[in-house]
Every structure is written in structure tokens, then in C-alpha cells.
């Protein structure tokens, strides 16, 4: 039985193992991301460069399920997603060089008693070093959610996107595809500088940031009707902001979770 199958299972895990309670911050990058358009994910997204790494767990335990998650931001009108993040591939624009160094395929995770091969629920092309490129066409070759390889995602990025700009790939996946398991190649049509990384995400929590006083959210993971992802030791959580036009993206995150066996 999984720890999140019942409230008593959660209390039993807390009593036996104690919860994780962490609070961390991400400083402002000071630059708003370059907005996407109809050929590059439609929205103005930012991947915050600071990430949090899941610590070790005790013997006989496999990881943690989040039970509470809060965010504090300066305010604005945008969304935020805290997600497990997996690097699927890297492109160095100069020389049009693809690299799988450090990349992984999407992981296997337990869901409702079964172990499943996941595909990305969200997939982003992230500019980790600013591009020098005029409306470059980015082509990603990937394995889809069902394991079909050699699928293509073609996007035309804006000219010279700044560092930390993130572009949703989902609208541009092959017809019928909903996610990505792995990336086998990335190429770009033009450009002289910059780096793009493809990240697959499994969301832990989504937040709505508003302009007045509710600059926070605590939509509890246990109330949401989607899979709860096991957060395993050494996995990383990253923060993605959606439709964020402001340059001030500093934030503070609370994560609370219970141990899973």
C-alpha cells in the first residue's frame, strides 16, 4: 500500500520517519524572458536557474510524496509550476552540435501500484545561454509517450532569445503526441551562439500568482486528481513561470512531504 493511499498511512509515515520541511529561495534573474509566439509555444515562460535537490532518505524508504507546497512571490499576474525536471538533451548553437551528455530518458515511476515508464507532462526548450540567431528553426527528434521513436517537433524561435527563456514544445509535437520519453537529436537552422536544453517535467504543484494580496498558493497535492509523483533522492525540482512579463522572478518555496517505502 502506498503512503498516500490514506490519511492514516500518511500519519503513520510521519510518526515513523518524520516529514521533510524545506524552504528555499530563488533570486531574481532581473530579466524577463523573450516571449514565444504561435510557432514557439505561444506563451512567455521562464525557467528559473536555481533548482532544489532531493536529499537522501532512510533505509527501506524510496523517496517522498509532497503533502504541502507554498510559494511567495513579489506579485504580478503569472503562473508558476514546481516540477521534477529531467534533462533530455542539449544543443550548442555554434556548430549545431547535439549532446546527450548528462541527459536521461524520462524515469520509471510508481503510479497506483504499478511501475510505469513516464513521458513528460510538460516539455520545454530552454535557452540556457542567450542565442544569437534570427528566427531559427529548432528541430527535435524524440521518442513519444508510447515509445515511438524518430518523431519530430519543429519550432521557430524568436530572434535572439535571452537566457532562461523557455518554450513549450507540446503544441508542436507530432500529431497525436502528448509527451516525450527521450530525445535523440536537436538541430537548429541558423545561429552563431547560445545553448538550448530540452527538459521534460513531471509537475509537483501549480500556482497562480495574482497582483494584489494573494501572492501565494497552497493547492495541496493530495487534493488534485492527477498522479502524485514520487520524488526520489538526487532528483531535482525546478520552478517554471508562465506568462511572466516581469523581470522580477524571485520567489520562496515551501515543500513538505512524507516518506514512502
Binding site for other proteins (CB under 8 A): 7-8, 10-12, 14-29, 49-50, 52-53, 55-61, 64, 67-68, 70, 72-75, 212-216, 218, 220, 222, 248, 250-252, 254, 256-259
Query: What cell was used for 161?
Result: 532569445
Least distance to other proteins, CB of residue 227, Å? 18
Closest to 164 in 3D by CA, of 242, 49, 77? 49
Q: Where does 31-133 have alpha helices with state H?
A: none
> Which residue lies nearer to other proteins by CB, 105 or 216?
216
> Which residue lies nearer to other proteins by CB, 60 or 95?
60
Closest to 223 in 3D by CA, of 7, 1, 19? 7
> Which residue lies nearer to other proteins by CB, 6 or 150?
6
> Which residue lies nearer to other proteins by CB, 188 or 230?
230
CB 165 within 8 A of CB 33: yes
For residue 17, the SS3 value is helix
Residue 104: partners with Cβ closer than 8 Å, 6 or more residues away: 86, 87, 88
Least distance to other proteins, CB of residue 157, Å? 25
> Which residue lies nearer to other proteins by CB, 64 or 81?
64
Least distance to other proteins, CB of residue 19, Å? 6
> Which residue lies nearer to other proteins by CB, 55 or 149?
55
Separation between Cα atoms, residue 63 and residue 110, nearest integer Å: 11
Query: What cell was used for 52?
Result: 532544489
Least distance to other proteins, CB of residue 257, Å? 8
93 alpha-carbon distance from chain centroid: 22
Least distance to other proteins, CB of residue 43, Å? 24
Looking from the CA of 211 toward its CB, the CA atoms found within 13 Å total: 4
- What values do phi and psi take at 14, rounded to 5? -60, -45
Least distance to other proteins, CB of residue 90, Å? 19
Amino acid at each position: 500500500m502506498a503512503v498516500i493511499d490514506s490519511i492514516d498511512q500518511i500519519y503513520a509515515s510521519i510518526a515513523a520517519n518524520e516529514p521533510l520541511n524545506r524552504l528555499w529561495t530563488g533570486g531574481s534573474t532581473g530579466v524577463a524572458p523573450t516571449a514565444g509566439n504561435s510557432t514557439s509555444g505561444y506563451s512567455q515562460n521562464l525557467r528559473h536557474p536555481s533548482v532544489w535537490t532531493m536529499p537522501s532518505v532512510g533505509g527501506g524508504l524510496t523517496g517522498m510524496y509532497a503533502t504541502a507546497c507554498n510559494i511567495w512571490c513579489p506579485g504580478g499576474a503569472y503562473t508558476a509550476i514546481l516540477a521534477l525536471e529531467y534533462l533530455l538533451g542539449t544543443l550548442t548553437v555554434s556548430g549545431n552540435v547535439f549532446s546527450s551528455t548528462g541527459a536521461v530518458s524520462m524515469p520509471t515511476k510508481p503510479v497506483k501500484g504499478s511501475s510505469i515508464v513516464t513521458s513528460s507532462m510538460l516539455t520545454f526548450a530552454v535557452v540556457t545561454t542567450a542565442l544569437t540567431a534570427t528566427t531559427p528553426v529548432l528541430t527535435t527528434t524524440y521518442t513519444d509517450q508510447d515509445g515511438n521513436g524518430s518523431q519530430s517537433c519543429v519550432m521557430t524561435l524568436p530572434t535572439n532569445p535571452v537566457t532562461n527563456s523557455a518554450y513549450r514544445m507540446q503544441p508542436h509535437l507530432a500529431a497525436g503526441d502528448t509527451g516525450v520519453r527521450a530525445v535523440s537529436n536537436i538541430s537548429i537552422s541558423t545561429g552563431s551562439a547560445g545553448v538550448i536544453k530540452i527538459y521534460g517535467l513531471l509537475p509537483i504543484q501549480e500556482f497562480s500568482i495574482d497582483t494584489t494580496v494573494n501572492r501565494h498558493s497552497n493547492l495541496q497535492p493530495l487534493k488534485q486528481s492527477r498522479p502524485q509523483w514520487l520524488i526520489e533522492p538526487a532528483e531535482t525540482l525546478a520552478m517554471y513561470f508562465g506568462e511572466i512579463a516581469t523581470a522580477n522572478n524571485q520567489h520562496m518555496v515551501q515543500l513538505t512531504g512524507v516518506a514512502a517505502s
